[in-house]
Amino acid sequence: MASKTEYRLENLSCANCAMKFENNVRSIPTVSEATVNFGASKLSFTGDASIAELQAAGAFDGIQVVPLSTRKKEPKIPFFKRKENIVTILSLLFVIAGMMFTYWDVPHPVIATTLFAAAIVIGGTGMFITGIKNLVRLDFDMKTLMTIAIIGAAIIGEWQEAAVVVFLFAVSEALEAYSMNKARQSIRQLMDIAPTSALVNRHGNLVELPTEDIQVGDILLVKPGQKIAMDGVVKSGRSTVNQAAITGEAVPVLKQMNDDVFAGTLNEEGALEVTVTKLVGDTTIAKIIHLVEDAQAEKAPSQKFVDRFAKYYTPIIIAVAFLVAIVPPLLGGDWQTWIYQGLAVLVVGCPCALVVSTPVAIVTAIGNAARQGVLIKGGVHLEEMGRIQAIAFDKTGTLTKGYPEVTDFIAAEGEKLAILQAVASVESMSQHPLARAIVDYAEKQGAVLAELRNFQSVTSKGAVGEVDGKMVYVGSMKWAEELTVLPLDIKQCAEEMQVAGKSVMAVVVNETFKALIAVTDPLREESKDVIRQLKEVGIRHTVMLTGDDERTAEAIAKVAGVTDIRAGLMPEDKLTAVKGLIGQYGRVAMVGDGINDAPALAASSIGIAMGGAGADAALETADIALMADDLRQLPYTMKLSRKTLQIIKENIMFALGLKIVALLLIIPGWLTLWIAIFADMGATLLVVLNSLRLIRIHK
C-alpha cells in the first residue's frame, strides 16, 4: 500500500481554490489520491510528486507547499501594509476619481474611462490572469465568471459599473482572507502551545536541545514559569501545573514524583525534573493537533451536500446567464440591456458563499472545542452530536468518581479513633478493592497504623487480624451476625445504607460489635447539574447502563436525576441496550471511559470518552474525547454542536436566499452589476462572520 505524504500550504485563500488545487494534484499522473484540508491549510496525497510539481498545481493562486515540520512564525503585518488592502484602497481611489470626472461633466469622458480602467487593472489583474487561464481550459470558477462579466461590461461601455464591481470584489477578497485567518487561528494556537526546545540533563551537563532531538528517557529541567516541552513523568520536584491548554481545566493541578505531565502545559511555582516518555511527534498535544486537523478535513454531511449542489449549480447559472443575454433580444428586447443583465447573472451566480458556508463553521467549532479541552474528531461527529436525542451513561467513572470512598463510619463516640486505627491496620493487608478506601479514610482522620499479627483473608466474608492483643474482624453483615448478636437499630441502619446503594461492613472486636462502615463509589459533584443542563439543551432521554446491582444503580440514578436505569448488564447487554435506544430515539450518544464498554461505544451514534488526556485508547477509539475527565464539558459540547448545526443552516439560507432575491430582480430589469457583486460579497461575508460567532461559545 502506497504511503501518504503531507505538506502544509501557504496562501490558500478560498474554499474554491482549495477544491481546484485538490483536483490539480489528483491530475498529476503519479498521484492516486489527494485531499486538501482547507481549514488546516494542509495537503495529503498518496503517490509520488515533487514539491515543484505541487507548486505548479497551485500556481493559479500562488499556493506555496512547505514541509509539515516547518513551524514558521507568521509575522504580524499592519493593516495598511497587507497587499490585498493596498490594492483595494488604490482601486477605490481611482473609482472615486473617475466618478468625480463623470459627474463634473468634463468635456473629455476619456479621462473618466481611463481612471475606471486603472481601477479595474489595479484591483483585478490577479483575478483576470487566473480567469483567462481558466476560460481557456473551460474551467468556470468564481474568477472566470467575474472576468467574463467585467470584460463584457467594458465592451458594452459600462466602465463605471465594471470598476465598482472590481473594487467590491477586492474588498470581498480582503475580508474573506481576514476572516479565514481568524478561523484558522485555533490550529495555529494549538501548534504554538508546546516549546520548540528544552533544557536537558545529558551526562550531568545541562544543554538546550530542539524537541526533535530529545529522546525517550532524557531528563528535562523545567523551571518555574516555563512550559513543559515533552510528555513525561515527574522524576523529582513538586509544583502546580496549568493544564488548561490540553484539558481545558481552569484550576492548576499539583504534580509530584511519578505524576504524568504533558507537553505544552505551564509549570507554575516549583522546579521539576521530568523523564521524557514520548518523542515529540507522539506527545498528547501532537496527537491532538493531528486529530483536529484531520477532523477539519473530514467533510460533514451538510458539506458533502453543498459540494454536490455546487457541482451542478455553476453550469446551471452559466446557462441561465446565456439565456438571459440571448433570448429577450431575439424576442425584440434591447441587446445591450439584456447582455448587461446576463453579465450580472454571472456575477450573482458565483458559488463562493455556498461553498464556504459549511467548512468555516466546522473549522471554527472544532478549533474552539479543542481550546476548551474537547476533542471532536470530525465534522460528521459534530453534526451528529447536534442531532442527538438520547444519551446513555456508563455509571462507574462517568456519573460516579470511579473509585470507592468511605461515606459513613458509625461507632461509639469515645472509641472512634481507636477502632478506626484497628480497622485500618487489618485492611492495610487486604487485597479487597474497598480496603484502600478504608485505609485512606483512616489516614485522613489522623489514625496511625498499629502492629498487625495473624492476618487472614476470609473468602466472601472479610478479613481478620490481631491488633493490640484483640482479634479485629472487618467484613460483611452476614459474617458479623455469625460472630456476635447485632443490635436491632444497627441492622436497620445498615439496611437503610444498603438501600442507598452503599456497601456496608461491620467491625467486630473479639466477640463484640463495635462499628459500621459504609463505602460507595460516590457520584461526581457535577453529575446532577450536568443531567439538568442536558435536558435544558433539548436531550429527551438520559439512561444509565451499569453492571452493578439494581439497588445501587437506583440510588445513584435518583440523586443524579437519571430516570431510566439498566442494571446488572454485561458488555453484550449494554450493546443490546444501545441498539434498542437507537431504534427508539434515532440518534444516541454513549458516554464511557473509551476502553471499557467498547461494543456499546462503537454501536452508538456518537461515542464519547472521558479523560482523553494521556489515554491513547480514548483518543483513538472515541468520536469525541473530554480531555479533562470533566463531565461539565458535555453540555458545552452539546450546545456547541447544536449551535453549529443552526449556523450551517443559516449560512446555506443566506448564501442561496440573497442570490435568489438578486436573480428575481432580472424580471423587472433592475439587476445591476454592483447589486450582483453586493449579493455575492454580502452572502460570503454574512456566512463567514456568522460562522465566527462560534468562537464566543464557552463552557
Q: How far is CA 566 from CA 399, 554, 577, in A?
A: 14, 9, 8
550's grid cell: 439494581
Q: Choosing from 394, 593, 629, 630, which is the catalytic residue?
A: 394
Do residues 586 and 389 lie in contact, with contact meaning Cβ atoms separated by under 8 Å?
yes
Return the DSSP state at 104.
T
Rounded to an integer, what distance in angstroms lies between the CA atom of residue 25 and that of residue 36? 9
Question: Which of 260, 311, 62 shows the shortest CA–CA distance to 173?
Answer: 62
Cβ within 8 Å of residue 181, ≥6 positions away: none
Rounded to an integer, what distance in angstroms lies between the CA atom of residue 520 and that of residue 502? 5
Parallel, antiparallel, or unpaired for β 390-394 and 541-545?
Answer: parallel
Cβ within 8 Å of residue 113, ≥6 positions away: 98, 159
Q: Which amino acid is residue 699, in one-letter code?
A: K
440 belongs to the catalytic site = no
The CA dihedral of 603, 292, 242, 612, to the nearest 10 degrees, is 20
Rounded to an integer, what distance in angstroms lies between the CA atom of residue 211 and that of residue 201? 13
Rounded to an integer, what distance in angstroms lies between the CA atom of residue 697 and that of residue 693? 8
Q: Provide the 3-class DSSP secondary structure of residue 426.
A: helix
Give me the DSSP letters along 128-177.
HHHHHHHHHTT---HHHHHHHHHHHHHHTT-HHHHHHHHHHHHHHHHHHH
Parallel, antiparallel, or unpaired for β 390-394 and 588-592?
Answer: parallel
Do residues 46 and 32 lie in contact, with contact meaning Cβ atoms separated by under 8 Å?
yes
Q: Provide the 3-class DSSP secondary structure of residue 268.
A: coil
Q: Is the sign of the CA dihedral 371, 375, 379, 383 positive or negative? A: negative
Q: What H or E segment, with its residue span, contains residue 588?
A: strand 588-592
Return the DSSP state at 696.
G
Q: What H or E segment, with its residue span, contains residue 621?
A: helix 616-621
Rounded to an integer, what distance in angstroms lies between the CA atom of residue 231 and that of residue 37? 27
Return the DSSP state at 71.
-
Q: How far is CA 661 from CA 172, 358, 683, in A?
A: 20, 21, 11
Cβ within 8 Å of residue 226, ≥6 positions away: 195, 266, 267
Do residues 246 and 371 lie in contact, with contact meaning Cβ atoms separated by under 8 Å?
no
Q: Provide the 3-class DSSP secondary structure of residue 533.
A: helix
Do residues 18 and 42 lie in contact, with contact meaning Cβ atoms separated by under 8 Å?
no
110's grid cell: 476619456
Angle between helices 673-692 and 335-348 in degrees, nearest 10: 10
Q: Is 42 left (phi over 0), alpha (psi -120 to 50) or beta?
A: beta
- Nearest-Å Rg of the Cα atoms of the chain is 34
Q: Provide the 3-class DSSP secondary structure of residue 63.
A: coil
Q: What angle do CA 108, 112, 114 make, to 5 degrees?
A: 100
Rounded to an integer, what distance in angstroms lies between the CA atom of residue 68 and that of residue 86? 31
Parallel, antiparallel, or unpaired for β 405-411 and 452-458?
Answer: unpaired
Helix runs in 242-358, H state only: 244-247, 284-297, 301-330, 335-348, 352-356
Catalytic annotation, residues: 394
